[in-house]
Structure 1
Amino acid sequence: MSIETTPSRNPDDPEWERLVAGLQAEPADPVGDLPLVPEWTRDADARKAVARRAVRRARRAGRRWLARQRTDRGHVKQIARGTRRTHEWVVGFHGVHVQATAHQAHLATREARAAARRARYTLMPAQREKARQFAERAETQALAAIQLHEQARRKVRRGRLLRGGLAYGTPLIADTVAAVEFGGIGLAGGIAATLSVAAWIGRKPQTEETWDHERRSIGDGDRLDEPMLNQAYQAAKVIGGDQTLTMVMPCMLTADAQAWEAVFDLPGGLPTRKALNATEALAGAFGVAVQQFHQSRGDREGRVHLRVSLQLPFTGAPIQGPLLAMERVSLWESVPMGVNLRSESVWTSWVERSGLFGGEPGSGKSAAANDLLLAAALDPTVRLYLADGKAGADITPFEPIAAMYDTDGNPERLLEILTHIWEVEVPERRALAKEYGSRKLTAAMAARDPRVYLAVLLVDEWSSYGAAADRKTREECERLLRLIVQQGRALGIITLAATQKPDADSVPTGIRDILSIRWAMRCLTPQASDTILGQGYAAAGHNAQDILKSQRGVGIYMDGEGAEPELVRSYYYDDDEVELILERAHKLREEAGTLPGSGPSLADRLRERGTEGQILAVLVDEFTAGGDNVDWLPGSVLLNALRAVGLDVTPERLAALVVRSPADKKKREWAGSLVAGYPRALVFDTAQQLIERT
């Protein structure tokens, strides 16, 4: 069957009209030009999803715009750059030619003046004529140079006026007309248009491209996520461009919204040290300061714990310590020492430990040492032995409750303190340990026996004592301190050394190596930081040189329990708070009867121990009457004191009772003569031995 397509001879044929109408009707979309709109996009949830996507894109665009403003591509810098380029175009470079013509005119004028002077003072007629002609030519050249200079100046001035009128006059006229015609809106629009033109002129920086809209960093306000993490570690050359980190804990903002944290594993075969050694490069990749960036080792090799603070940590007001709210402290338990980066309180057990605090002056060592001393003061059973080599006032408030102290930086007094601890405290504690059949004193023993207690020895600025002492005294002090640290640890003697200059002269190497708790405040060099923490810690990312001066009381803290060092800020107690705590400590010790001198005196206990005790009691009274500064008395003075109370003691008997070494028998000057005598420390040690023996 065929369909006729030629026009019908009868235009009124209805069948023809039906066929033609069907053939000529166009479909709604014959070639599919209209977009295909899925059915699912027409409901409310789809519209909300599209709106959320639009908001997210707008937020990202806003962040990118803000990030761009900090670079050379920022609009403010573009306007400034365009204004500067416009001004340079107006001024032009022709000023150099003006300066050149001015220089030539100056030289020609000087030569013409010199030629005229020679012509004036030439005596020979022939030579005078030649000189006159030369002077005229020089004058002509000078006038020509001056005229050339004036022409150059006029030309440059005319060009600057034309360019200045075009560059400055055009926008000024346009803004003025807009302000007259449309008021404030017109003026604002004119200014906006002028600034837009300036930004367009300065759109290209003079240096290479420095802004990348794809670059994201925490310093620019972006969120920390896995792509940023990989990009930063690749940029710092910790991992290769084709390697990625394996996330153990996703990137999360801390509960206080002060830092980003993440835990991840490095690619196989890469040690943790490689990441720890790239601290500066990683901080730059994240767009933050080195002080805001902190890494630590995980529980296995290759695992890294990352924390990036949004602001510089520990730069606010000092942190008030919890000891103000504690009525009493037991030093057998952990005590608060400071706050770490996670705003967690750091509690440390000092039992069977010793410490070294170091850092430059003003870094906060005294405040850090006070955390231990004030806690020890609030334990009424703890004895305090304090020595300050710099003769400062840091330990002066503790004097009323200290068993022995030195605030004058006197090496002889330090030797007396160390000798007492080694010859009195250590034997007593060793006897107690043997009595209990134990190698050390414990908290369980202290709970049952009041004779078991802790003692704290603070030696501040050992180098000052060493500089003021003679060689023999210095070596003896060093020997005793080493013995006390080594053997006193298990016997309840806690030793703390603090120094401003952490080196072998400040704290001898043999002593420094056995001090377990370390706190490195701000140091001037990585070597000084390693002196406190141990060799290699600075290279592993724990460098106290990175601590800022504004971060007082902040240091890298190593608690001696094998944990990774961390940044900790010590608690701070001002003078009024220290006085308040020490008043409470004094009251506790007064109630417990542990204040120095609160029990029977040494002399009273000696008098109960026969004739020898009575003799030693008189000697102790004689030294005590002279004050703590009396460290030696002649034998004649002591014998006279004995006769005054009715004890007829010969010099031989006194020498047999208080046995002196050859060094102790050395004569000293007294009242203008060299006489033999007895050291205070020897008399008191003999008295203590008699009490222990009987």
Structure 2
Amino acid sequence: MSIETTPSGGRDPEWERVVASYFNSPAEPGDRPSPVATAPADPIGDTPLTPAWTKTPAGWKNRAGVGRVNTLRGWRRWLRRQTTEHGQPAQIYRGAARITVWIRGVEGTEVAKAKHEARRAHQTYRQAQWANGKRLMPGSAKSKLSKELDRAADDSERAMAKYRKARKDARTLQSLRATAALTPLAAIEGAGLYMGGGPGGLIATGLTLTGLALVGRRTSTGELWSDRDAKIGDGDRMTETMLNRAYQDARVIGPDDTLRLLTPCTLTADGQAWQATFALPSGIPAKKALGARDGLANAFGVSAQQIHQVRGTREDHIHLRVSLKLPFSIKPPTGPLLDVEKTSLWRPIPMGVNLRGEDVSTSWVERSGLFGGEPGSGKSSAANCLLLAAALDPTVRMYLADGKAGADVTPFEPIAAMYDTDGDPERLLEILQHIWDVEIKERRALAKEHGSRKLTEAMAAVDPRVCLAVLLVDEWSSYGAAADQKTRQEAERLLRLIVQQGRALGVITLAATQKPDSDSVPTGIRDILSIRWAMRCMTPEASDTILGKGYASAGHNAQDILKSQRGVGIYMDGEGAEPELARGHYYEDAEVAAIVQRAYELRREAGTLPEAAEPDLLDRLIEAASATGRGVATRAEVFAHLAAVDTQYARAGSESDAAYNARVGRALAAGLEEAGVSVDAVKVPTADGGRSMGYRLEDLHGAR
């Protein structure tokens, strides 16, 4: 990438205009707040690539923070390196050993050679002395043997002289090299002691060790430590060198190819991950990079779950995020619906958070959803996010069917228009038939009345008859296994019609299953469910069954989700959207009960409770305690409230107070016992400041 610059010190009006417009333009929501004081633009001067913002107080503070983080990381990296062959102790040892070898030099080979020749010459001389079986002496009788003996004696003396000279020369050269090597060390140490005493001696020793470490910096094989050895898993910062090396090692790009960075390698604002956006070399598809997650994890020194890649706006652009810790490994935070008094399902609903900590919100209008995953993966909890949001919208009609006859939808029974929690195929068929014959028919008529082909939020604002409806079918395969062929085919036909035609008429269909194959969810229905959420799956094929064919090989494989990451899934908001890893909001059973209770009160006040959920005796007690405005109701206030809706609690004309209170009290106790409600009357404050027997609102809510 080439950058054109103007000569140092020259002014660039275009650069000044861009910088000025950046700092003077009004801040948009979510933009970085403008610094209090802005520095003049640097028109490509001494630091042509340094933004002017870095010269402001906020910029200096930011750079100081980055410097502290980098310093700490560098210190940790240095500590970890000390136990390896690249550490300072190993370098100092190699430096001392190499200086020792240099001092000893290569003269030892000459000395050894001369010594060997002297020994051989002496052996020849000894053999000549005893050639005829008796010892001869040099200079004796003038014979052939004596002449050979004289020559051997001369050769031995010359060899010994050569050996002595070689040894002397070697000692001389070694002394000179030792003097050359040790004199500076002694001088530094002596100067340090002379000028600084003990502290000076320590400083001098440190300098000596530093020199030895520099000499021994390279390993015995000639390797030198560099960023190419760095890994994020070892606490090192992400660099362009590391990025290219990782993608080369993972066989995504060739050894001679390089990535073109579109953004620098930066640490996220929360300090939880490194990220960068880059362009792949020409001819390399993004699919190849997305499918190399395991190799990249090895190259970066992290687990595969910490690697997250997303295809950019172009085929050659990739956004990479490497988390420093395993994502979603801590307890999920409290779900946001606990603090919401009321919702509108016409607006996006909070479903969870993604890897970047951003909220994942989904608009369910004219949409349908499919949740899949192995048992215990958290798909029911993810579906609960939509059900709870729908419950807090008092205008939404809820139709719930649980084929596994579990307790996931049981808390919603009091507010559901129709429900089946027994896994009864006939009841499911009844629910689907009602939606098709009644709901769809009424909604189609409303759309025609408003002169539209679909129902909208604008219509709902002026016409209270316009509302949304939610249909949940959990474990279709369980219904199919329990039903006869005729019932199964009719239910499948109705469900397909509801998904196809109910979408524009405000009917939101949701399916949840362990493996959404053709046996669990009919193919014709599964293919038209737009929003997908794949929790942990046993195989890549099961993951593809939820998200679509080819997503697992492209790096979106729900099999890679760990068992400990409950509630985590690959979320895809509609066809053509890029899947992302997200964790659905989780609500405890007590929290679900509290939200449903609030939803019940909202629907009671709005008059939208279903006919099957008329107020029971406990509801009447709650109404009486709420109507007083004190959070309590005396027995007299309870009796008066019950008498207005049920004649058995009314006073007979000739009945005394004592007889009336006793009779109504027995009737109330019997009604509560029959309903399975355990709540006792206690002393409560009256309207005039006294105290009387009655009921507290919090006790009544707790008895539900």
Band of TM-score, shorter chain: 0.5 to 0.7
Q: CA RMSD in A?
A: 2.7
| Residue in 1 that maps onto 2:367 | 353
The DSSP-based 3-state class of the residue aligned with 1:503 is coil
1:220 partnered with 2:247: no
Give the equivalent residue in structure 2 for 1:556: 570
* 1:489 counterpart (496, 503, 514): 503
Q: Distance in 2 between matches of 1:58 and 1:384?
A: 55
Distance apart, 1:209 and its partner CA: 13
Whether 2:380 is the aligned partner of 1:380: answer: no
State how far apart, in whole Å, the 1-side matches of 2:413 and 2:551 are. Answer: 37
CA contact under 8 A between 2:306 and 2:324: conserved in structure 1?
yes
Aligned mates of 2:355, 2:536 — CA distance in 1: 16
Structure 1 position 63, deviation (Å) = 1.6
Structure 2 equivalent of residue 565 of structure 1: 579
**1:396: which partner in 2?**
410
1:329 aligns with 2:343: yes
Q: How many Å separate the matches in 2 of 1:56 and 1:418?
A: 61
Deviation at 1:252, TM superposition (A): 0.6
Aligned residues: 417
The answer to whether the 8 A contact 1:71-1:211 is kept is no
> Cα offset for 1:563?
2.8
Distance 1:397 1:71, change over 3 A: farther
Alignment correspondent of 1:425: 439
Q: What's 1:416 paired with?
A: 430
Alignment match, 1:455: 469
Cα distance in structure 1, aligned partners of 2:516 and 2:239: 41
Q: Which residue of 1 aligns with 2:332?
A: 318
SS at match of 1:249: coil
Q: CA deviation at 1:504?
A: 1.3
Pick from 310, 323, 335: which aligns with 1:309? 323
SS in 2 for 1:472: helix
Q: Take 2:301 and 2:81, find their aligned partners in 1: how far apart are those partners? A: 11
Quick one: structure 1 residues 211 and 290, their matched pair in 2 at CA, closer, same or farther if it must change by over 3 Å? Answer: farther
Task: Tell me which residue corresponds to 2:606.
Answer: 592
Q: Which amino acid aligns with 2:358?
A: E
Map 1:195-234 → 2, pairs under 5 A: 214-234=228-248
In 2: Cα distance, 1:363 partner to 1:466 partner: 23
Query: Equivalent residues in 2 for 1:574-613 (5 A)?
Result: 574-597=588-611
> Does the 8 Å contact 1:519/1:533 carry over to 2?
yes
Per-residue CA deviations over 1:17-49 (Å, capped at 9, x if unaligned) read: xxxxxxxxxxxxxxxxxxxxxxxxxxxxxxxxx
8 A contact 2:259–2:279 mirrored in 1? yes
Is this contact kept in 1: 2:402–2:409, CA < 8 A?
yes
Return the offset for 1:436: 1.2
CA 1:360–1:211: 2 relative to 1, 3 Å = farther
Q: How does 1:64-213 map to 2 (within 5 A)?
A: 64-67=78-81, 69=83
For 1:104-158, what per-residue CA distance to the aligned partner results, in whole angstroms no more than 9, with x for missing partners?
A: xxxxxxxxxxxxxxxxxxxxxxxxxxxxxxxxxxxxxxxxxxxxxxxxxxxxxxx
Q: Hey, what's the Cα distance between the residues in 2 that align with 1:411 and 1:244?
A: 60
Match of 1:287 among 297, 301, 304: 301
**Offset, 1:320:** 1.4
Amino acid at match of 1:324: L
Residue 58 and residue 261 in structure 1: after superposition, are their counterparts in 2 closer, same or farther (change >3 A)?
Answer: closer
Q: 1-side partners of 2:367 and 2:566: how far apart?
A: 25
SS at match of 2:325: coil
User: How big is each residue's C-alpha offset from its partner over 1:207-261, in whole Å with a ceiling of 9 and x where there is no partner?
Assistant: x999976511100110001110011001111111111111111111001100011
On the 8 A contact 1:73/1:211 being kept in 2, the answer is no
Separation (CA, whole Å) in 1 of partners of 2:433 and 2:223: 67
- The answer to whether structure 1 residue 537 and structure 2 residue 548 are counterparts is no
Indicate the residue corresponding to 2:533 in structure 1: 519
Out of 433, 436, 441, the position equivalent to 2:455 is: 441
Give SS of 1:405's match.
Answer: strand
Structure 1 position 568, deviation (Å)? 0.5
Name 1:116's counterpart in structure 2: none
Mark the CA change 1:334 to 1:209 in structure 2 (over 3 Å): closer, same or farther: farther
Over 3 Å counting, the alpha-carbon distance change for 1:598 and 1:543 in structure 2 is: closer
Q: How far apart are the structure 1 equivalents of 2:88 and 2:487?
A: 68
Between 1:238-247 and 1:410-419, the stretch displaced more is: 238-247
Q: Which portions of structure 1, spanning 4 or more consecutive aligned residues, are displaced by more than 2 angstroms?
A: 55-62, 67-76, 208-214, 598-601
Query: Counterpart of 2:287 in structure 1: which amino acid?
Result: R
C-alpha distance in 1 between matches for 2:410 and 2:266:
47
Instruction: Please list every run of 5 or more consecutive structure 1 residues that lacks an aligned counterpart in the other structure.
Output: 1-52, 77-207, 602-694
Number of the residue aligned with 2:253: 239
TM-score by length of 1: 0.58
Point out the more displaced range, 502-511 or 352-361: 502-511
Shift in Å, 1:366: 1.1
Q: Is 1:480 aligned to 2:494, yes or no?
A: yes
1:339 and 2:353 correspond: yes
Aligned-pair distance for 1:327? Answer: 0.5
Match of 1:366 in 2: 380
* Alignment check: 8 A CA contact 1:318 1:571 kept: yes
Aligned to 1:647: none
Taking the aligned partners of 2:297 and 2:422, their CA distance within structure 1 comes to: 46
Number of the residue aligned with 2:282: 268
Distance in 1 between the 2:424 and 2:612 partners?
A: 26
1:597 deviates by: 1.3
CA distance in 2 between counterparts of 1:301 and 1:372 reads: 34
TM-score (norm 2): 0.57
Which amino acid in structure 2 is aligned with residue 459 of structure 1?
Answer: V
Letter in 2 for 1:253: L
Q: Would you say the 8 A contact 1:593–1:599 is kept in 2?
A: no
Aligned residue type for 2:480: G
Could you tell me whether the CA contact under 8 Å between 1:67 and 1:220 is conserved in 2? no
Match of 1:250 among 242, 261, 264: 264
SS at match of 2:264: strand
Alignment correspondent of 2:202: none
2:263 alignment partner, SS class: strand
CA distance in 2, matches of 1:417, 1:507: 17
Q: Distance in 1 between matches of 2:358 and 2:535?
A: 19
Structure 1: how far apart are the matches of 2:614 and 2:580? Answer: 47
Deviation sequence 1:642-667 (CA, Å, 0-9, x none): xxxxxxxxxxxxxxxxxxxxxxxxxx
Shift of 1:286: 0.6
1:328-379 deviations in whole A, cap 9, x for unaligned? 0000000100000111111100000000000000100111011000000000
1:542 alignment partner AA = H
Q: Is the 8 A contact 2:76 2:235 kept in 1?
A: no
Moved more, 552-561 or 306-315: 552-561
Deviations 1:416-437 (A, max 9, x none): 0000001111111111111111
Give, as a single letter, the amino acid of the residue that structure 1 aligns with 2:253.
Answer: I
Whole-angstrom CA distance in 2 between matches of 1:421 and 1:250 = 54
Over residues 443-486 of structure 1, what are the superposed CA-to-partner deviations in whole Å (9 max), with x where a residue is unaligned? 00011101110000000000000000111111111111011000
User: Are the equivalent residues in 2 in contact too, given 1:590–1:598 (CA < 8 A)?
Assistant: no
* Secondary structure, counterpart of 1:563 in structure 2: coil
2:445 pairs with 1:405: no
Letter matched to residue 379 of structure 1: D
SS of 2:508's partner is strand
Matched letter for residue 340 of structure 2: M
